[in-house]
């Protein structure tokens, strides 16, 4: 099982270590540093690294490497999923997951890690249970604790761990009973030079924020559940009911959680919200290149496309870019060669464009590679797959909750080749 954990910051310092079995010397991280040196980019460090006696499994989050040390055969996904859970927990507790935040709360971090893993076996990883065991630090509580000498550690047994619904704590009480659901879809797509779609798929999630008193039993149904190709549920969802009726039936955890994630890959269902007209070219023998980019809405079902951000890694030979945006602002980093154009909202009447020239190093030959354009965008009040929630009902409790559903579409890895 998981033996030890090392946290390493971007400058290569080990700033926290935790051992669940015997102590593993931090020199084991040298193998990690070697791999890090070989990788050109921080993201390219391989996630599984063998060493003579151990295996190092790492994830990179918020510019911190979380490096787990294992000694025997342990499923790597198990370790990676656990590390993700650690990151999520830190973020949940401290608002951000940064080196500073972790150092500021090192004792809580240590207590958390101790609760999350026992002898390498995961113990309590649900945020609900953890929060019962160890209270998240708030400025108010820290002050109170400092003055009164009380502690962060909860005194009662984490009852939730043993109940049939381990994800929900008992005795929840709210004055305002509310349940909010966000349907968020991300489009991953590759568009080729000519504008035709090579691949497109939708990764969707339904994130919930449920603050309901007692033990509510909810059902959520969709207008068009057959859209979904593959679904992954929160453990609270009753799978049989979904299989039989395509209805989500569940006792929700308290607070924020991800109810469902889904995947739509049937291509005819994936609408492409924007198109890009581009002309990025260099002429042989000239040190000037042309850059010409125009964006326009495509299939948006009448909704407006907002928060558009275009970025592109220009060829290494490019020295400067002298461009003129019709709207928004652009920056070009001459070191990383990254061009970013903050477009904002697309106005269908007056399409945003970015035009101008790029200059190459004098005497440099025409670059071989074609830059890829990466697009981020948001469309409010629409799930691009067309998924719609039909109704949400609550059983088991008497009060009338306030219910809300929000839709949003974003671009995930949306890439246009040139």
Partner 1 sequence: MQEWANQLCENRQFGSKMTDSKYFTTTKKGEIFELKAELNSDKKEKKKEAVKKVIASMTVGKDVSALFPDVVNCMQTDNLELKKLVYLYLMNYAKSQPDMAIMAVNTFVKDCEDLNPLIRALAVRTMGCIRVDKITEYLCEPLRKCLKDEDPYVRKTAAVCVAKLHDINAQLVEDQGFLDTLKDLISDSNPMVVANAVAALSEIAESHPNSNLLDLNPQTINKLLTALNECTEWGQIFILDCLANYSPRDDRESQSICERVTPRLSHANSAVVLSAVKVLMKFMEMLPKDLDYYGTLLKKLAPPLVTLLSAEPELQYVALRNINLIVQRRPEILKHEMKVFFVKYNDPIYVKLEKLDIMIRLASQANIAQVLAELKEYATEVDVDFVRKAVRAIGRCAIKVEQSAERCVSTLLDLIQTKVNYVVQEAIVVIKDIFRKYPNKYESVIATLCEHLESLDEPEARAAMIWIVGEYAERIDNADELLESFLEGFHDESTQVQLQLLTAIVKLFLKKPTETQELVQQVLSLATQDSDNPDLRDRGYIYWRLLSTDPVAAKEVVLAEKPLISEETDLIEPTLLEELICHIGTLASVYHKPPSAFVEGSRGVQHKRLTSSAGSGESVESPDTGSAAVSEAPPTVIPSQGDLLGDLLNLDLTPPTSTGPPPTTAPGMQLGAMDLLGGGLDSLIGDESEPPPIPLRTDTPQSPQPPHQSPSPPHYSPTELGGDIGGSPAMGTGFGAPPAAMPASFNAPISGGLDDLFDLGGGGGLTMGTYIPPKSVWLPAMKAKGLEISGTFVRRSGVIQMEMTLNNKAMSVMSDFAIQFNRNSFGLAPAGPLQILTPISPNQSIEAALPLSTVGPVMKMEPLNNLQVAVKNNIDVFYFSCQYPISMLFLEDGKMERQVFLATWKDIPNENESQFQIKDCHLNSDAASNKLQGSNIFTIAKRTVEGQDMLYQSMKLTNGIWVLAELRVQAGNPNYTISLKCRAPEVSQCVFQNYETVLKN
Judged by CB under 8 A, the chain residues 96 through 115 that form the site for partner 1 are 100, 103-111, 114
Site for partner 1 contains 288 (CB under 8 A): no
Site for partner 1 contains 48 (CB under 8 A): yes
Adjacent-strand bridge partners of 372: 417
Residue in 9, 31, 51, 71 binding partner 1, rule: CB under 8 A: 71
> Of the ranges 233-241, 273-281, 346-354, 398-406, which one interacts with partner 1 (CB under 8 A)?
233-241
Judged by DSSP in three states, 293 sits in strand
Judged by DSSP in three states, 227 sits in helix
Q: Are 279 and 357 in contact (CB under 8 A)?
A: no
CB of 43 to partner 1, least distance (A): 5
What is the separation of C-alpha 411 from the centre of its chain, rounded to a whole number of angstroms? 13
Nearer to partner 1, 345 or 413 (CB): 413
Residue in 157, 281, 286, 406 binding partner 1, rule: CB under 8 A: 157
CB of 179 to partner 1, least distance (A): 20
Site for partner 1 contains 235 (CB under 8 A): yes
CB of 232 to partner 1, least distance (A): 4
- Phi, psi (degrees; rounded to nearest 5) at 178: -135, 150
CB of 61 to partner 1, least distance (A): 9
Q: Residue 138: how many CB atoms within 10 A of its CB? A: 11
Binding mask 19-38 for partner 1 (x = CB under 8 A): xxxxx--x------------
CA end-to-end span of the chain:
47
Site for partner 1 contains 413 (CB under 8 A): yes
- Phi, psi (degrees; rounded to nearest 5) at 50: -85, 145
Site for partner 1 contains 281 (CB under 8 A): no
Site for partner 1 contains 144 (CB under 8 A): no
Q: Which of residues 3-22 bind partner 1 (CB under 8 A)?
A: 14-22
Q: Are 136 and 93 in contact (CB under 8 A)?
A: yes
Binding mask 313-352 for partner 1 (x = CB under 8 A): x--x------------------------------------
The torsion region of residue 396 among left (phi > 0), alpha (psi -120 to 50) and beta comes to left
Site for partner 1 contains 234 (CB under 8 A): yes
Report the candidate in 284, 291, 279, 280 with the shortest Cα–Cα distance to residue 366: 284
Which residue carries 């954990």 as its tokens? 5
β-pairing, 402-417 vs 178-191, is: parallel
């Amino acid at each position: 099982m998981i033996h030890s954990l090392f946290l390493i910051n971007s400058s290569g310092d080990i700033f926290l270590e935790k051992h669940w079995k015997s102590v593993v010397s931090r020199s084991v991280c040298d193998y990690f540093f070697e791999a890090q040196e070989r990788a050109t980019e921080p993201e390219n460090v391989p996630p599984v690294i063998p060493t003579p006696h151990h295996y190092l499994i790492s994830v990179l989050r918020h510019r911190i490497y979380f490096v787990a040390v294992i000694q025997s055969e342990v499923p790597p996904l198990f370790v990676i999923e656990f590390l993700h859970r650690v990151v999520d927990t830190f973020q949940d507790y401290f608002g951000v997951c940064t080196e500073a935040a972790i150092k500021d709360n090192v004792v809580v971090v240590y207590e958390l890690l101790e609760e999350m893993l026992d002898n390498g076996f995961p113990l309590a990883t649900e945020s609900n249970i953890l929060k019962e065991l160890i209270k998240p630090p708030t400025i108010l509580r820290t002050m109170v604790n400092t003055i009164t000498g009380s502690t962060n550690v909860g005194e009662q047994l984490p009852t939730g761990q043993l109940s049939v619904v381990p994800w929900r704590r008992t005795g929840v009480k709210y004055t305002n009973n509310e349940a909010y659901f966000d349907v968020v879809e991300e489009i991953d797509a590759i568009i080729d030079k000519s504008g035709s779609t090579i691949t497109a798929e939708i990764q969707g999630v339904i994130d919930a924020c449920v603050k309901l008193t007692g033990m509510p039993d909810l059902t959520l149904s969709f207008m068009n559940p057959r859209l979904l190709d593959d679904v992954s549920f929160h453990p609270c969802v009753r799978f049989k009911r979904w299989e039989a009726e395509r209805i989500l039936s569940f006792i929700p955890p308290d607070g924020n959680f991800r109810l469902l994630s889904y995947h739509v890959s049937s291509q005819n269902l994936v609408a492409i919200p924007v198109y890009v007209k581009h002309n990025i070219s260099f002429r042989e023998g000239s040190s000037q290149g042309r850059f010409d980019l125009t964006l326009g809405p495509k299939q948006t079902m009448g909704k407006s496309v907002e928060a558009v951000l275009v970025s592109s890694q220009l060829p290494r030979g490019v020295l400067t870019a002298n461009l003129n945006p019709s709207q928004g602002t652009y920056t070009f980093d001459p070191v990383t060669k990254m061009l970013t154009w903050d477009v904002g909202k697309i106005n269908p009447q007056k399409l945003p464009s970015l035009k101008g020239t790029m200059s190459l190093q004098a005497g440099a030959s025409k670059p071989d590679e074609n830059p890829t354009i990466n697009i981020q965008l948001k469309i409010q009040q629409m799930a691009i797959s067309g998924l719609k929630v039909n109704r949400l009902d609550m059983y088991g409790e008497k009060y009338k909750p306030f219910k809300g559903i929000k839709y949003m579409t974003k671009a995930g890895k949306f890439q246009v080749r040139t």
